[in-house]
A and B are shown apart, each in its own frame.
Chain A
């Protein structure tokens, strides 16, 4: 077994761990963390594929590596959006009822506009 296979197995366990956290944790922030953990595992799998494709004097196949760089940035953007939603949601006190007057404060996640 070489190092690439070792990290491949590591990424398999990471995806499993992250998936478990995603299912089990009731808190949204922990779900976001777990989701990022899965992301790390998937990116690592790409890294393993890239490493195995080492050829032409490169240490790894540059195409999956470039994909991972793109993926990391997009993962950051979606995490930022998810966290902003979460913070906004948690700053709304008691969302069980609709606002009494139409003073601009729309209910979060309300019905169709």
Chain B
């Protein structure tokens, strides 16, 4: 049982790490700011989410699990805010900088 759980953790963490790599590649390769932003949100939402999922399988008890999930939700919120604000900043008619 614990072997299956470990295998699932490794799978999820690897997938999460892959999305971080994908986010980096996108950030480096995409031509304009908006599509780079699109790549960045993949790392934020999916990479962190998958790593949290993998670690959830290793934790016992409700409180540590709740803490992990709230880290992910806060990360999502931060990502969503930044994405909104930066999109407005790079969009013509928005902020210029």
**Does a CB–CB distance below 8 Å link A and B in the complex?**
no
